[in-house]
Amino acid sequence: MNTFGRIFRVSIFGESHGEAIGIVMDGVPEGMELSAADFAADIARRSPGKRGAEARGDFASAQAAPGAAAPAAFGTTPRVEADEPQILSGVVDGHTTGAPLTIVFRNANTRSGDYGEFDAMPRPGHADYVAAVKWDWANDPRGGGHFSGRITLPVVAAGVVAKKVLEGIDISAKLIEVGGCPDSARWPELLTAATAEGDSLGGVVQCTATGLPVGLGEPFFDSVESLVSHAVFSIPGVRGIEFGDGFAAARMKGSEHNDPFGPEGPVKNGAGGVNGGITNGAPLVFRVAFKPTSSIAKAQQTWNFAENREDTLRIKGRHDVCFALRTPVIVEAMTAIVLADLL
């Protein structure tokens, strides 16, 4: 199912190299102002190339650093799509109507010739192989089909709407690690080196939501952590998630990890803002581990299923050196969608 949420509910559709990709949102309140311009900033943060790097301002200063030559320093694919949102339904005269809100993005700049060979030789780390087995090779192989990271574009658009719904709540995600390095000043250098090697890097994103009331979430299956992790693990390339002290909590004593209460609620935040699955008024804090980009120029071993022999794969195409750079806005969007549904 390509649907998430109970009241504020999103359904995504589209293949990377098909006609269009899009999202349908149920449960959007009526009367909210909304226009295509509202989406520009968040969509730019997800963009590759120079436009994205500027919008994120991730390591603006670092770009001036000697030896950090563009475009490698951007760490992202030069493939550029217009990414123009088209609102098909749910908005009239610049206001939401309460009916399902549909946003579509046309796919224009596709070079499916790049992808022909993966029918026979599945790319390591990609879904080529499982899709071929699951859907009897009928799945669209061009550009990863429905698995493509491009599917996160409509998610970002839905996040913009969800953030509007969450008045008074601030959701902010940022990259805190690239290739194991927390010092953003050194990232351009690492990205340049990985580009030169035809290799790729992973990263860690931290997301914080403030202004949440006490009481969102339910014990057990609708715990805040259950819903957030469900949404976050649907972003391609996530390997782990942890809340508050996270994995470090497993190495702490109860007296260290427990958050004492003061008159306003917890006075520290080892729990990441959630007790018993329910928000406790402290900021919701979690971190997400993104793997390194699977598509690399470097030679990789794979199996040639057409000729039934080992083979070597060098992925040409245009790919991110570190797609994690583009993910903070996607993590924000998923978080906003979950919180809008809980509210």
> Could you tell me the smallest distance in angstroms from the CB atom of residue 205 to its own copies?
9
Considering only residues 66, 67, 168, 262, which one is a binding residue for its own copies as defined by CB under 8 A? Answer: 262
Name every residue whose Cβ is closer than 8 Å to that of residue 293 and which is 6 or more positions away in sequence. 200, 201, 237, 319, 320, 321, 322, 323
Where does this chain touch its own copies (CB under 8 A) — which range of 45-53, 57-65, 72-80, 270-278? 270-278
* Choice between 69 and 92, CB closer to its own copies: 92
Q: Can you tell me the distance from the alpha carbon of 281 to that of 213, in angstroms, rounded to the nearest whole number?
A: 6
> Could you tell me the smallest distance in angstroms from the CB atom of residue 215 to its own copies?
4
Where does this chain touch its own copies (CB under 8 A) — which range of 46-54, 58-66, 162-170, 241-249? 241-249
Using the rule CB under 8 A, is 167 a contact of its own copies?
A: no
Considering only residues 47, 293, 327, 335, which one is a binding residue for its own copies as defined by CB under 8 A? Answer: 293
| Span 200-239, contacts to its own copies by CB under 8 A | 200-204, 214-215, 218-223, 225-227, 229-231, 233-234, 236, 238-239
Considering only residues 47, 96, 195, 208, which one is a binding residue for its own copies as defined by CB under 8 A? Answer: 96
| Span 103-162, contacts to its own copies by CB under 8 A | 104, 122, 124-127, 129-131, 133-136, 138-140, 142, 144-147, 151
Cis peptide before 71 (omega within 30 of 0): yes
* Choice between 51 and 257, CB closer to its own copies: 257
* Choice between 41 and 230, CB closer to its own copies: 230
Integer Rg of the chain from CA: 21
| Span 10-69, contacts to its own copies by CB under 8 A | 11-15, 18-22, 24, 26-27, 30-31
CA dihedral 221, 223, 148, 12 (to 10 degrees): 80
| Span 307-326, contacts to its own copies by CB under 8 A | 308, 310, 324
> Could you tell me the smallest distance in angstroms from the CB atom of residue 301 to its own copies?
4
**Residues present in the chain in total:** 343
> Could you tell me the smallest distance in angstroms from the CB atom of residue 43 to its own copies?
19
138 secondary structure, DSSP code: -
Considering only residues 3, 35, 61, 109, which one is a binding residue for its own copies as defined by CB under 8 A? Answer: 3
Name every residue whose Cβ is closer than 8 Å to that of residue 126 and which is 6 or more positions away in sequence. 118, 144, 147, 294, 295
> Could you tell me the smallest distance in angstroms from the CB atom of residue 149 to its own copies?
11
Contacts within 8 Å (CB) and 24+ apart, 184-188: 184/58, 184/59, 184/62, 185/59, 185/61, 185/62, 185/65, 186/62, 187/58, 187/59, 187/62, 187/75, 188/59, 188/62, 188/63, 188/65, 188/68, 188/73
Name every residue whose Cβ is closer than 8 Å to that of residue 290 and which is 6 or more positions away in sequence. 202, 203, 204, 205, 237, 238, 239, 323, 324, 327
